[in-house]
Amino acid sequence: MSWAEVQSGPLSNCHRVIDVDIAAILYTSGSTGRPKGVVLSHRNMVAGAKSVASYLENRPDDTLLAALPLSFDAGFSQLTTAFYAGARVVLLNYLLPRDVLKAMAAERVTGLTAVPPLYMQLTQSTDRKSTR
C-alpha cells in the first residue's frame, strides 16, 4: 500500500497519542550504579532535545556524529537533538578512533558527544594528522 492510499483511506479508531504517553524506557545505572529503567514521555523527549539543542546552540546547518550506542541515553540524545534542531545526524558504529576521525572529516561534523574514554583515544590517536 502506498502512502497516498493510507492518507486517503478511512480514519480508524486508533489510540490517540498525547504528550504524557510513554515514548521510551531508557536503561541507565545513573549515579547509583544500579541498573534501572527510566520512563520518558513524549513531552520528556521533546523537552530534553530542546534543552540540549539550546545549550549546545545546535542549528539546522549542523552535522552531529552519533558514535555512541543508541541504547545509551547520550547516544539516543544525538538523534533527538538533531531532529529538534533540524540538523543532520550521521550514525557511526566505530571500532577504532581513526573511524571517528575519518567520519568527522568526511562528513564535516560540527558536533560530537562522546564518553571520556573515546575523547582520550581521540586525543592520543596518531591518525589525527592524516585526517586534516
Helix (H, G, I), strand (E, B) or coil at 4: helix
Helix (H, G, I), strand (E, B) or coil at 35: coil
Average pLDDT, the chain: 88
In a 10 Å sphere around its CB, with 0-12 CB exposed, 13-18 middle and 19+ buried, how is residue 64 labelled? buried
The pLDDT tens digits of the residues spanning 38-91 come to 899 999 999 999 999 999 999 999 999 999 888 888 889 999 999 999 999 999
Q: Does residue 127 register a pLDDT over 60?
A: yes
Sign of CA dihedral 87, 92, 97, 101: negative
Which grid cell sits at 130? 592524516
Q: Are 49 and 80 in contact (CB under 8 A)?
A: yes
Q: Does residue 130 register a pLDDT over 80?
A: no
